[in-house]
Structure 1
């Protein structure tokens, strides 16, 4: 905590009033030795307390007391015996000052707690707003993906796991009219660092001819795992391989993860 934060927090008043724990008192004491601003603030608070307590303890000087006695003489020259006021006023003043200090200290403590509560409420509000924004974005993505899945013009091609990853699977949604192509890669594991999945459209005859139609970039960041790739003009099958980052000109067949015929 910076010096100005200590000064504004109200903890220095609690230190002067003796309302802190031993550990906190030691912490403030050590800080005051190192920081002139803290030390000066403590001295200022102490002076204010002394001035406040003094205002509760008025007294008359001895000279004024004698003048009051002289002014109270009776006609028969007898005087009323007046005893100097006891110290009860002085003590009462100090007691009132202490009570006021305790009350002020309590209010300061409650104000600090209120500030903390407001700060925590603000943080919670920000978190809720972030969560709401994230869920809203996820909802939009889900609706968009449902449109792709439900479009009867899209041909769905299921890609099964191959020797490199038997448990993997994926699905291609290919609109033969518009040539748009989407890959549902939810069945693929996260690629290792420095590697990327590459999607291929395949012509099987007369010879196997692969054509790259895109990379599944930012795989981990895509929570829905639905990717749009390049337009596909013709395909007899689709395959997905694991390639070095940036992709390869031809598929690495040893890293063929999924494959499926149209």
Structure 2
């Protein structure tokens, strides 16, 4: 059993009150000998009972063993009560104090465990709400994106895989009016660590590349659709693999996809 679970189980309170069998007492003693947390908890319970007993019978001096002996009986007995101030009256007060302390400690431990469970449930609820909110946001963003790329006047250019990665592919949705391009990079493999994909706008005669931007956070973007700004008179688009941060000019040996804009 986990030590924390063992401590909050209530067995230590019963041990302190002398309400366990001999076998159970030996088991608790063994646990206390092996685990300092158990010993500390037993001492704390005994201290609480002593303090409560002193508050009930301030004129009587007893140690904890004497208090426990007064209530640790196997059979209940009828105690004749005469008047306040007799020894038996004090014993009843001690017994009530101990039993009250045990009850309070039991309730405290149970409430502590319940509060821990409630806090865990609250954290799970917040996490679920966050996941739902993220899913809703993602759905809204996807819907907006689909509506955008389906607008009339959007130019669509397919980019085919090149020598370094023949199976790669991508698509460019170009909104010339708003000077934006949306890169669908689902057909590109994940870039190696320290590398990033860079999109290029190309003029073909003479061949003039201009950087459109980087496909950053590639791995964490499940949709692999990236919005970039493009104010160029593009005749073609290409995507190369570059060192993190991008390059001033494309590394042609790492040209993954290329496509000509249809007229």
TM-score by length of 2: 0.68
- For structure 1, which segment, 103-112 or 235-244, has the greater mean C-alpha deviation from structure 2 after superposition? 103-112
Unaligned residue ranges in structure 2 (runs of 5+)? 57-66, 72-77
| 1:96 CA drift (Å) | 8.1
Q: Matched residue of 2:242: which SS? A: strand
Question: 1:255: Cα distance to partner?
Answer: 0.4
Residue in structure 2 matched with residue 194 of structure 1 by the alignment: 194
Q: Deviations over 1:34-67 (max 9, x none)?
A: x6xx676333233267678769956569xx99xx
Instruction: Give per-residue Cα distances to partners, 1:159-180, cap 9 Å, x unaligned.
Output: 1111111221111011233332
> 2:44 matched to which residue of 1?
41
For the aligned residue pairs, the C-alpha RMSD in angstroms reads 4.1
Secondary structure at 2:196's aligned position in 1? strand
The normalised TM-score by structure 1 is 0.68
Return closer, same or farther for 1:91/1:222 CA change in 2, 3 Å cut-off: same
What's the offset of the Cα at 1:253?
A: 1.1
SS at match of 2:165: coil
User: 1 CA distance for matches of 2:224 and 2:181?
Assistant: 14
Paired with 2:144 and 2:130, the residues of 1 have a C-alpha distance of 21
Aligned twin of 2:159: 159
What secondary structure is seen at the aligned counterpart in 1 of 2:117?
helix
> Partner residue of 2:212?
213
Q: How does 1:1-262 map to 2 (within 5 A)?
A: 11=8, 14-18=11-15, 22=28, 25-26=31-32, 30-31=36-37, 41-47=44-50, 107-108=107-108, 110-205=110-205, 207-262=206-261
Q: CA deviation at 1:136?
A: 2.3
* 2:74 counterpart residue number: none
Q: Would the alpha carbon gap of residues 50 and 93 (structure 1) be closer, same or farther in structure 2, given more than 3 Å must change?
A: closer
Q: How many residues end up aligned between the 2 structures?
A: 226
Paired with 1:133 and 1:23, the residues of 2 have a C-alpha distance of 52
Structure showing greater radius of gyration is 1
